[in-house]
Amino acid sequence: MAEIRDIEVVVFDVLGTLVDEPSGLRAAIRDAVPASDDATVDELLASWLEHVELEQQRIAEGHRAYANSEIIDGEAARLVADSAGLTDPAAIARLATAGQRLPPWGDTVAGLERLAKHFAVLGLSNASRTALMRLSAHAGLRWHQALPGEAALAYKPAPEVYRLAIDTAGCPPERVLMVAAHAWDLRAAQAAGMRTAYVHRPGGDPPTSSDTFDWRFDDLDDLTTALTAG
C-alpha cells in the first residue's frame, strides 16, 4: 500500500464527489416545472441521468462522435422538457445549464482550501471546459488546475482521461492520488497506475469486497486530516 507521504499531487473527481449532482439537478428540474410532485421530479431526474450515462457509453463504444457535456446536458434538458410539457425556451435553456450550478458538499470548500496549501490539487471531470469553469466558480472550488475530459475528447473511465491528469501532474503516477466517491472511477485510475482514495458520498458508487483501493474515508475531512497530518 502507498504511503501518504509519497503523494505529490491530489486529483479530485468533481461530479458527485465534490458537488452534489443529484440534488442540484433535482432543484433545477423543480424550478423549471414547479407543479410537478416529488415522484415526477425523481422520474425526470432519472431520465436525465440515464440519458447522460447512455450517451457517454455510446461515445466510449464508438457509436457516437465525441460531444461535450454541454451538448449532452442540452439533450437531457429537452427530454425532461418534452416529458414535463415545458415549452418556454428560456426555461429550457436555463435547465440545460443546471450542471453548472451544483452545490458543494458541506466539507468540500474548506477541504480543498486546506489541501491546496500542501499539495498541487487538480480537478478531473467529465464536465466540459466551460461547464467546469462555471461550476468551479459557482461552488467555490479551489484548484491549481481543472482538467476536463473534453481535452482528451473522452469521458471517464477512458484511460486517456487519467493520462491527462498524470501528464499534467508531471510526476510518476504512483505519486498522484485520485480521490472519488465512485468505485468505477477509482478502478480506472488504479489501472492507470494512480494511487486511489475512496470518499463516501450519498448516492456514490461504493467499493466492493474485491476492490483494493489505497485508502477509504468517511468524508473529505478525514481524507484531508490524513493527508496533512505531520
pLDDT tens profile 68-109? 999 999 999 999 999 999 999 999 999 999 999 999 999 999
Under 8 Å between Cβ of 228 and 115: yes
The values of phi and psi at residue 91, to 5°, are: -65, -40
* pLDDT above 90: residue 64: yes
Find the distance separating the first CA and the last CA of the chain, reported in whole Å. Answer: 19
Cα 22 to Cα 105, 109, 153, 169, 208, distances in angstroms: 12, 18, 25, 30, 22
Average pLDDT, the chain: 96
Q: Which pTM was predicted?
A: 0.95
3-class DSSP state of 31 = helix
Beta bridge mates, 104: 19
* pLDDT above 80: residue 1: no
